[in-house]
Copies of this chain bind each other. A is one copy, B any other.
Amino acid sequence: MVAVSRRAVREYHSGIIAITAIIVPPALMTDPGARPFTTAQRVQAMLAVEVALAEALAEAGVIPAASVPPIRAAARGEAYDLGALADAAAEAGNLLIPLVGALRQRVAKTDPAAAGHVHWGATSQDVIDTALVLHLRVAVTTVLASLDCAADGAADLARRHVATQVAGRTWLQQATPTTFGAKAAGWLDGLAGARVRLAAALDEALVVQFGGATGTLASLGPAAPAVAAALGARLGLRVPDIPWHTERGRLVAVACALGMTCGTLGKIGRDLALLAQTEVGEVTEPTTAGRGISSSMPHKRNPVAAALAVAAAVQAPGLVATMLAAMPQEHERALGGWQAEWDTLPALVDLAARSSAAMAATLPHLVVHEHRMRANLDAEGGVARAEGLVAALAPTLGRAEAVTLVERVCAQVLADGGTLADRAGDEPRIVQALGRAGIGTALAPGSFAGASALFVQRVLARWQRLKE
């Protein structure tokens, strides 16, 4: 399903770009190792682009083939002093300028001529943007994998609980019943949609950035198209119709899809948190040693994954807004808008990675308490099932009278206690219409599931098709 080459994943695992997408709270994310977009990883991705550029230039005959090996040899990220680069970047305006300087120096030690061929024809943004795309390819692929895992978990819940009746809730009030399978199918429906949108946006964004100083590639003369094609081929990226230094739609589409991913996961997280409330108790997050334990209250188990998903859904919208706000970038290359993206898109990837990982670790192992679901449906004498009675009476009495009658019975139950079944059995017209057994049938668990099983089946079928 994922529009990402095997090669990219292999490169990822071979450590060129390492990403850790563990469940880890946001506040810990400022240290290297925890975040996918560290300076070290950015530097390595930029060096990978510089090497591919040298190879492409040689292939197109712009620079001699002999210049490539020394550049490749010098382009190992661990050889560079990240602190010094950062200091120099502060003055230069971006990280790539001092990095290219340092790369040239290293190459010059072994091959002065090759040093002159480093970064030939490119502008800083060419390399920074292309490195970002490489980075996104790996990081978003990880998110997609987590979404798959979470979706499989939701699918399993939908399948197993297709007939498990649970209170439907609207405005946070019990309404007519639904099934837990239908709830899980709703989650799956959202996850499948998020996944399709994110994969499509990533695929669209897998293009090289290459335009030189002002997007004309003028300094490469007639060789420009050949160099661009070779650069794209080496990196596994398409060549776009025109450089996109200030046309950021593709990246913003990825940002939007990541934001929607966080929103979709946040809906699931919020549902889980509400279902896990002490007074509701219908689900519990899977427990591992130490997870979600309160420091002062031994009887508590906090829904950590749900909180993480909700938090990500609170944070993501502002970051998506930043990406959108940064779109009006000036002329050929921007002042401010482009720079505003640098922290923002990685932060969005972080959020989606953590949130999807949290749900991937939770949904397949969710603990479901069916007895609490039944018990909650019986709250308030089971008036939540009233519409089942109305539906059973309507053919005989007409809907209007059925509603009036059942409303009266419900009011009695809420005022004086007892169950809806018992009070309905005290009402002669209802007994006359349905018989006592008919009342029981009308109010029985599962008697009011409507088309929910059909909905579950459709959503599962779509997910199956998507996975094929």
* Contact A267/B253 with A216-B178, A299-B380, A311-B337 known, Cβ cut-off 8 Å: no
- Residue-wise, chain A 331-366 has the 8 Å CB interface mask toward B (1 for contact) of 111111101101110110000000000000000000
Contact of A25 among B93, B319, B407 (CB under 8 A): B93
- CB distance A249 to B260 under 8 Å? yes
Residues on B with C-beta less than 8 A from A454 are 225
Residues on B with C-beta less than 8 A from A65 are none
- Residue-wise, chain A 247-291 has the 8 Å CB interface mask toward B (1 for contact) of 111101100110110111011011101101111100000001111
- CB distance A343 to B29 under 8 Å? yes
Contact of A325 among B83, B256, B325, B335 (CB under 8 A): B325
Minimum CB–CB distance for A76 against chain B, Å: 19
Residues on B with C-beta less than 8 A from A168 are 213-216, 331-332
Residues on B with C-beta less than 8 A from A179 are 216
Residues on B with C-beta less than 8 A from A37 are 30
- Residue-wise, chain A 124-168 has the 8 Å CB interface mask toward B (1 for contact) of 100000000000000000000000000000000000000000011
A417 on the interface (CB 8 Å rule)? Answer: no
* Contact A327/B91 with A35-B30, A216-B168 known, Cβ cut-off 8 Å: no
Residues on B with C-beta less than 8 A from A235 are none
Contact of A313 among B30, B336, B380, B448 (CB under 8 A): B336
Residues on B with C-beta less than 8 A from A459 are 241-242
Minimum CB–CB distance for A94 against chain B, Å: 6
Contact of A116 among B174, B176, B177, B400 (CB under 8 A): B400
Contact of A296 among B219, B224, B247, B337 (CB under 8 A): B219
* Contact A172/B328 with A89-B24, A451-B216 known, Cβ cut-off 8 Å: no
From A47-55, A181-189, A428-436, the one touching the partner chain is A181-189
- Residue-wise, chain A 75-98 has the 8 Å CB interface mask toward B (1 for contact) of 000000011001111111111110
Contact of A458 among B97, B242, B387, B452 (CB under 8 A): B242
A197 on the interface (CB 8 Å rule)? Answer: yes
Query: A280 to B169, alpha carbons, bound, how many Å?
Result: 13
- CB distance B315 to A343 under 8 Å? yes
- CB distance B328 to A266 under 8 Å? yes
Interface residues of A in 223-240 (CB under 8 A from B): 224-225, 240
Query: A386 to B190, alpha carbons, bound, how many Å?
Result: 40
From A2-10, A11-19, A66-74, A300-308, the one touching the partner chain is A300-308
Residues on B with C-beta less than 8 A from A252 are 260, 263
Query: A86 to B100, alpha carbons, bound, how many Å?
Result: 34
Minimum CB–CB distance for A99 against chain B, Å: 11
* Majority secondary structure of chain A interface residues (helix, strand, loop or mixed): helix
A212 on the interface (CB 8 Å rule)? Answer: yes
- CB distance B90 to A28 under 8 Å? yes
**Of all chain B residues, which has the CB nearest A256?**
B256
Minimum CB–CB distance for A138 against chain B, Å: 16
Minimum CB–CB distance for A425 against chain B, Å: 18
Interface pairs (22), CB distance under 8 Å: A30-B37, A91-B290, A116-B399, A168-B331, A172-B331, A173-B278, A189-B247, A218-B387, A242-B458, A247-B264, A266-B328, A271-B330, A274-B331, A278-B380, A279-B280, A298-B410, A299-B407, A313-B324, A314-B340, A318-B321, A318-B344, A320-B320
- CB distance B178 to A214 under 8 Å? yes
Query: A291 to B225, alpha carbons, bound, how many Å?
Result: 32
* Contact A328/B256 with A93-B292, A171-B307, A213-B387 known, Cβ cut-off 8 Å: no
Closest 7 CB pairs of A and B: A168-B214, A310-B336, A263-B327, A218-B450, A216-B450, A318-B318, A170-B333
Query: A263 to B334, alpha carbons, bound, how many Å?
Result: 14
Residues on B with C-beta less than 8 A from A324 are 259-260, 262-263, 313, 316-317, 320
* Contact A90/B25 with A100-B295, A328-B313 known, Cβ cut-off 8 Å: yes
* Contact A123/B189 with A90-B28, A215-B178 known, Cβ cut-off 8 Å: no
- CB distance A243 to B455 under 8 Å? yes
**Of all chain B residues, which has the CB nearest A354?**
B90
A105 on the interface (CB 8 Å rule)? Answer: no
Contact of A303 among B172, B247, B315, B403 (CB under 8 A): B172
Residues on B with C-beta less than 8 A from A212 are 176, 296, 450
Query: A237 to B212, alpha carbons, bound, how many Å?
Result: 47
